[in-house]
Structures are given as C-alpha cells and as structure tokens.
Amino acid sequence: MPTLFVRHEVSDYATWRRVYDAFAPVQKANAVMAEAVYQAADNPNDVTVTHEFATLEAAQAFGKLEELRSAMRTGGVLGAPTVWLTNKAQNDPR
C-alpha cells in the first residue's frame, strides 16, 4: 500500500489543524484511504502527515493537487515541505 509522507513546519499548529481537518472531503474524493498527523516531540509546529492509497498513481495525483497546495498556504506551512512516497515492505520469506 503506497503511503505519502509530508513533513513541514507550520506557523501555528491550531490554525493549520483547522485547515487540515476541513480538507478531509478533498482527501476522500481523491482516494486517501487513511491518514495520520504527527508532531515532533520537541516542536508542535513540526508536523508530519501520512496518507495511504491503493495505488502509487493515486498517491502521485494527490500530491499534485492545486487544492492541496492552496490548503497548505492557507494553513500556514512555512517553506517547502519534505515529501516522499513509500510502499509497505513485504515480509522476508526466510
């Protein structure tokens, strides 16, 4: 299952969270199957978000949404986010 990770600093977590929560319908409409939000232990404005998808193509398309970029600006994301895609590792057959 492909997972999109996004890490960024925000100017104010509470403001960012309101915008993130309001973005849920867009996530659902664009194939997000599950999501989670994490804050760094030493900085609540250092946020990492994960979104799970059924396909790599869905994850890539979601990452390119203009609505996503707009929500990030509105939510107070500072600078460029660090973004990476993963696939869940298969069990070692040994």
* CA geometry: angle 6, 39, 65, nearest 5 deg: 25
* Distance from C-alpha of 6 to C-alpha of 28, rounded to nearest angstrom: 17
Domain locations in the chain as residue ranges: 2-87
Q: Are 25 and 89 in contact (CB under 8 A)?
A: no
Q: Span 2-87: which CATH code?
A: 3.30.70.100
What is the value of pTM for the model shown?
Answer: 0.89
* Distance from C-alpha of 14 to C-alpha of 12, rounded to nearest angstrom: 6
Q: Is the pLDDT of residue 27 over 90?
A: yes
Local structure of 16: helix, strand or coil: helix
Structure tokens at 6: 């996004």
Amino acid identity for residue 40 in this structure:
A
- pLDDT tens digits along 42-72: 999 999 999 999 999 999 999 999 999 999 9
pLDDT of 69: 94
